[in-house]
């Protein structure tokens, strides 16, 4: 799937991609809240935008690479749904988002329930760390 060809945003907002995560992926503007960054990172996984994921990952926890393209070839992931359960901002520079992402790999369904932490630096939100929720 190429990002220019989609109309509805993959982050399940029901908004048009061009009015949702598209501008963040195009780096026209930064995602203004942790929730919007979270949504744009989910849709970046759907669209295999590895550089966007790395660029929005805080330098202190960022991996060198995600091998998204290789992973997609070996274990094609079909992202089904993103549900934001809770967003909270504990200070002007710290935010958290609790979400459930559902996906399938070769027909088997999985659910990722995670609490992600975000930090604001130089007016840009970054993904810091995620804690699985059981
Ligand atoms: Zn979106």
What is the structure's pLDDT at 117?
Answer: 98
CA of 86 to the centre of ligand 1 (A): 17
Q: Are 15 and 9 in contact (CB under 8 A)?
A: yes
Cβ pair 47, 1 in contact under 8 A:
yes
Domain residues for the domain of 111 are 3-132
Q: Cα(86)–Cα(88) distance, rounded to whole angstroms?
A: 7
Q: In this structure, what CATH number is given to the domain that contains residue 45?
A: 3.10.450.50
pLDDT band for 2, please (50, 70, 90 cuts): low
Look at residue 3 and tell me whether its pLDDT is greater than 80. no
pLDDT of residue 133 exceeding 90: no
The rounded radius of gyration (Å) of the Cα atoms in the chain is 14
Nearest-angstrom CA–CA distance, 126 and 73: 28
Ligand 1 midpoint to CA 120 (Å): 20
Task: Give residue 22 CA to ligand 1 midpoint distance, Å.
Answer: 7
113 CA to centre of ligand 1 in angstroms: 19
Q: Please count the structural domains in the chain.
A: 1
Which residues is 84 bridged to in the sheet?
Answer: 99
Q: What is the structure's pLDDT at 130?
A: 96
What is the spatial distance between Cα 115 and Cα 112, in angstroms, rounded to a whole number?
A: 10
Which phi and psi (to 5°) does residue 34 adopt? -55, -40
Across 45-55, average pLDDT = 97
Report the candidate in 57, 58, 13, 14 with the shortest Cα–Cα distance to residue 39. 13
Question: What is the CA(42)–ligand 1 centre distance, in A?
Answer: 8
Residue 70 pLDDT exceeds 70: yes
**Angle (CA) 102 109 4, round 5°:** 50
Instruction: Please provide the DSSP assignment of 12-24 as one string.
Output: SS-SBGGGTTHHH
pLDDT, residue 134, reads 75
Mean pLDDT of 43-69: 96
CA of 37 to the centre of ligand 1 (A): 9
Predicted confidence (pLDDT) at residue 98 exceeds the cutoff of 70: yes
pLDDT at 5 over 80: no
């Amino acid at each position: 799937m190429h990002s220019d060809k989609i109309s509805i945003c993959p982050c399940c907002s029901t908004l048009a991609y061009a009015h949702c995560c598209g501008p963040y992926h195009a780096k026209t503007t930064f995602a203004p809240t942790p929730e919007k960054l979270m949504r744009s990172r989910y849709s970046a996984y759907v669209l295999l935008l590895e550089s966007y994921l790395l660029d929005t990952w805080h330098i202190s926890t960022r991996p060198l690479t995600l091998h998204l393209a290789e992973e997609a070839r070996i274990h094609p992931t079909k992202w089904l749904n993103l549900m934001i359960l809770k967003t909270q901002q504990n200070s002007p520079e710290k935010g958290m988002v609790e979400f459930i992402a559902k996906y399938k790999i070769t027909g088997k369904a999985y659910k990722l329930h995670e609490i992600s932490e975000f930090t604001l630096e130089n007016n840009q939100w970054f993904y810091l760390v995620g804690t699985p929720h059981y």
